[in-house]
Amino acid sequence: KTLKDLGDLKGKRVLVRADFNVPLKGTTITDDGRIRAALPTIKNLRDQGAKVIVMAHLGRPKGKVVPELSLAPVAQRLGELLGTKVPLAKDTYGDDAQAKVAAMADGDVILLENVRFNPEETSKDDAERSAYAKKIAALGEAFVSDGFGVVHRAQGSDYDVAADLPAAAGLLVQKEVDALSRGTENPSRPYTVILGGSKVSDKLGVIENLLDKADRLVIGGGMVFTFLKAQGYEVGSSLLEEDQVDKVKGYIETARKNGVELVFPTDVVVNKGFPSGDTPIDPKVVPADAIPSDMMGLDIGPDSCKLFHDKIVDSKTVVWNGPMGVFEVPQFAEGTKAVAQGLVDATAAGAFTIVGGGDSASAVRNLHFPEDGFSHISTGGGASLEFLEGKELPGLKVLE
Ligand code: 3PG
């Protein structure tokens, strides 16, 4: 169901679940991409004359009130972006939320405090979660699910509230589903998927699912060392998931059988450990099959940057999830930049390109790539991965 299915919303109290789980340094938002992505739905509802009650989570406070995880900086930023004041209720459904909702005029927007301050939000007990969701639902007359980043979770403020009120997908959820579907249903070929990030175990499902869909899998980031190890290389002190090596060997075997091209880095940028106070940044480039035993791989090397870029540009559909290295440190950001540039160049050449995952999306913005250089930058982390895995996502299912 989409916004139109909710009918005329003038004067109606509409609850909107957004994903405002933004990176923070203290109280400063370092990437407001997820807040900006929610604006079309909020503006649409305001234009219709609805009273817009937004709810969201921030971090994982585990059911406790953690002041550092208050949505106050988000309310402030949302207000700036909308050009209106967005009051923050002190609670999610308590006295303050109810009073603030009662005082709303048509077109007003308020934000409820972090839904995860309530232990029931993430409870595994369906009855407990549902009783809590009813208290939230009582604040509104309709529900719009626009937090794409949480639709893979069956949590109170999304999944359960949707079952209590007339509910529909917001414009962001619709846009995400349309774009990501192009990566899963009949993609134009060659179809290349680039996977990075630190953990192979987070990406097992998506890798398995892609072995009979993608034409080419390009692997970098911390997870690549498990792939290098599976091919018999030594990886020094690089990140390694020893318990996944056998599984990864199986994937390499299946890829070969299915004719899926696997692309690994041929060289790696290494450092004597993860850069921190005691460990200075002193990068060296070494061949991927000759990483010294006392060195840690922190990025793909310059030859690999060129290789990855060329493979990406030679594609008609590209999905990228996970940075190639420790991109927050400029000396280890080149791999991630090369991949981002590859997507920008592929887009310019007519390919359909998707950046999926919280980290890759933040990397693109923090490394100053133009957002319109990509066909779609997903706001989902786990959600976009699970979508690409072909899993049924509870937060979408409940809207059908
Ligand atoms: C995300 O950051 O991917 C979403 O906001 C979901 O957060 P979670 O993984 O803590 O549920």
Same domain? 146 vs 234: no
- The domain that holds 117 is classified in CATH as 3.40.50.1260
Same domain? 216 vs 78: no
Same domain? 133 vs 182: no
- Indicate if ligand 1 lies below 6 Å from the C-beta of 19: yes
Q: Which residue matches tokens 């774009």?
A: 179
Residue 398 domain-assigned (yes or no): no
Question: Catalytic residue at 199?
Answer: yes
Residue 138 domain-assigned (yes or no): yes
Residue 192 domain-assigned (yes or no): yes
Q: How many domains does the chain have?
A: 2
- Nearest residue to 189 via CA among 250, 261, 255: 261
Position 212 scores a pLDDT of 86
Same domain? 252 vs 359: yes
Domain housing 363: 178-388
Residue 131 domain-assigned (yes or no): yes
Residue with the smallest CA separation from ligand 1 atom 9 is 382
Q: Identify whether the C-beta of residue 266 lies closer than 8 Å to the C-beta of residue 238.
A: no
Q: Please say which residue of 171, 204, 235 terminates a domain.
A: 171
Note the pTM of the prediction, 2 decimals.
0.90
Same domain? 153 vs 226: no
Indicate the DSSP class of residue 159: I
19 CA closest ligand 1 atom index? 5
Q: Please say which residue of 171, 196, 219 terminates a domain.
A: 171
Q: Which two tokens stand for residue 372?
A: 């319109």
Q: Is 49 annotated as a binding residue?
A: no
Question: Catalytic residue at 107?
Answer: no
Q: How much is the ipTM here?
A: 0.98
Q: Identify whether the C-beta of residue 361 lies closer than 8 Å to the C-beta of residue 336.
A: no
Q: What's the 296 CA to ligand 1 centre distance in angstroms? A: 29
Alpha carbons 308 and 340: distance in angstroms, whole number: 10
Neighbours of 178 (CB within 10 A): 10
Backbone angles phi, psi at 60, to 5 degrees: -130, 75
Each residue's pLDDT expressed in tens, for the chain with a length of 400 residues: 999 999 999 999 999 999 999 999 999 999 899 999 999 999 999 999 999 999 999 999 999 999 999 999 999 999 999 999 999 999 999 999 999 999 999 999 999 999 999 999 999 999 999 999 999 999 999 999 999 999 999 999 999 999 999 999 999 999 999 999 987 788 999 999 999 998 888 888 889 988 988 999 999 999 999 999 999 999 999 999 999 999 999 999 999 999 999 999 999 999 999 998 889 999 999 999 999 999 999 999 999 999 999 999 999 999 999 999 999 999 999 999 999 999 999 999 999 999 987 789 989 988 999 999 999 999 998 899 899 888 899 999 999 9
- Indicate if ligand 1 lies below 6 Å from the C-beta of 60: yes
Residues 57, 61, 67: CA angle, nearest 5 degrees: 90
Residue 64 domain-assigned (yes or no): yes
59 CA closest ligand 1 atom index? 10
Q: What's the 31 CA to ligand 1 centre distance in angstroms? A: 15
Q: Is 357 annotated as a binding residue?
A: yes
Q: What's the 162 CA to ligand 1 centre distance in angstroms? A: 19
- Nearest residue to 158 via CA among 358, 389, 383, 355: 383
Residue 236 domain-assigned (yes or no): yes
Alpha carbons 358 and 366: distance in angstroms, whole number: 12
Alpha carbons 223 and 259: distance in angstroms, whole number: 22
Q: Identify whether the C-beta of residue 334 lies closer than 8 Å to the C-beta of residue 366.
A: no
Alpha carbons 184 and 207: distance in angstroms, whole number: 13
Position 205 scores a pLDDT of 86
Alpha carbons 189 and 194: distance in angstroms, whole number: 15
Q: Please say which residue of 171, 203, 228 terminates a domain.
A: 171
